Amino acid sequence: MKIFAIFCSIASLAFAEERPNILIIMSDDQGYQDAGFQGSKQAITPHLDALAKTGVRCTNGYVTYSVCSPSRAGVLTGRYQARFGHENNPVYDPLDQKEGLPLSEKLLPQYIQQVGYKTGWIGKWHLGSAPAYTPWKRGFDETFGFIGGGHCFTGWKPNQFQYTLPLIRNGESIDDVPAHLTTALGDEAANFVKRHKDKPWLLYLPFNAPHTPHEPSAQRLAKFSHISNPTRRKYLAQLSLLDDAIGSVLTALNVTSQRQRTLIFFFSDNGGHTDSGSNNSPLRGIKGSLFEGGVRVPFLVSWPEKLPAGVDYTKPVSSVDVLATSLAAAGVAMPKNQVYDSVNLVPHLSGEVKAAPHDRLFWRMHGKQLFAMREGKWKLIRLKDQAAPVLYDLEADIAETKDCATENPEIVKKMQQALDDWCKQLVNPVFPGSSIKNEDWGPGGANQKARGK
């Protein structure tokens, strides 16, 4: 029995060493075109461009919602957030027991912990601020960042306002104010990678850049002095700092010989808001809309041991697929206790499976007022009270300029029925949340201060 136990222990250790690390990097409000690997001539993103060369660029990569918090809820649960009513940005209020990702949902790190992974969250949370909703209560062993929906980047005085709250390390507030928050998050993530080089880990790294307020360093801003629009100039400088922070993490992976066995996802939480300096070309729409500019995002998947390098994948994929892909990589069976929308992307991106990961993608937004669906090349959008939905052929019209509904009544009918059937599976929003307007979330905005204080 003793020999058998030793054998099992050795086998378990060998299996652990074979399992990949999992790194989920998320930018915040990044424009669809705003990266070198997306064709931008203005955005300077050498580290992201290098990441794209080591993996797969998903040219039809989507998120499940075009606003921050619901999009993040979809990533961590592997389910459309409308299935559990998380359809608004939660108000920052540590006393509110409803505003947050419902506690009925089990999150990705909680599954990964069960097979011995070290789990970390570094960055922006925005999934509830009451104690039960915090990341250290939802499966993350190590934590560093801020709990609300946004934060200043430099020079703040810690107080009770959301954008100037103290940073939190492992559940405890700290007094330190870094020279620049984006750089600090990158350094923290690099240190996490170095500390855990001998054991599989999962790191969820959601930055708040290039979301407003744009506060790049003076030196970085000077590098974009040739950009005439001052808002665009600050945005690009902030994006450049983000790219450098991501570069710090990638360097840490390389110097610790972990890069080959690390599965990396990169995408934005939603489309850019053009009033804040982003560029979603050639897409129509912005953050908060269900046009492509709101939900189609820069999207990379890299795993050198398993996936091809420097290729494009053109079939639709979704950020909701992070859960199934990560669980499969870690050797964890997909749960069967409820409906999951997540698909393991590795067989599709590697070319092993030729079929598309999803037959259909769905969206519901803004208090059940706005709906969309993609099936193949077709995209249907409808308002709740709108008599006639609109239909776009995304292969011929990526900018969604021509409504094809009149010419394709049977396609519209079929898609409307599929959308109606999907909606029957959903629940009502479970917390009121806040306005999605940018002015409500920036410095001085109505939602900065904790409600009830």
Cβ-contact 292, 283 below 8 angstroms: yes
Catalytic residue among 68, 86, 151, 358: 68
- Tokens of residue 120, six digits: 């970390």
Whole-number Å distance between alpha carbons of 56 and 350: 9
Q: CA nearest 26: which of 323, 265, 187?
A: 265
Whole-number Å distance between alpha carbons of 43 and 51: 15
Sequence-distant (6+) residues with CB within 8 A of 355 are 348
C-beta neighbour count of 394 within 10 angstroms: 18
Q: Is 86 a catalytic residue?
A: no
Catalytic residue among 47, 126, 196, 358: 126
Cβ-contact 241, 217 below 8 angstroms: yes
Cβ-contact 313, 56 below 8 angstroms: yes
Whole-number Å distance between alpha carbons of 139 and 119: 7
Cβ-contact 206, 269 below 8 angstroms: yes
For residue 196, which amino acid is it? H
Within 85-229, residue ranges assigned H as helices are 108-113, 181-195, 218-222
Whole-number Å distance between alpha carbons of 262 and 381: 37
Q: Is 126 a catalytic residue?
A: yes
Which positions are annotated as active-site residues?
68, 126
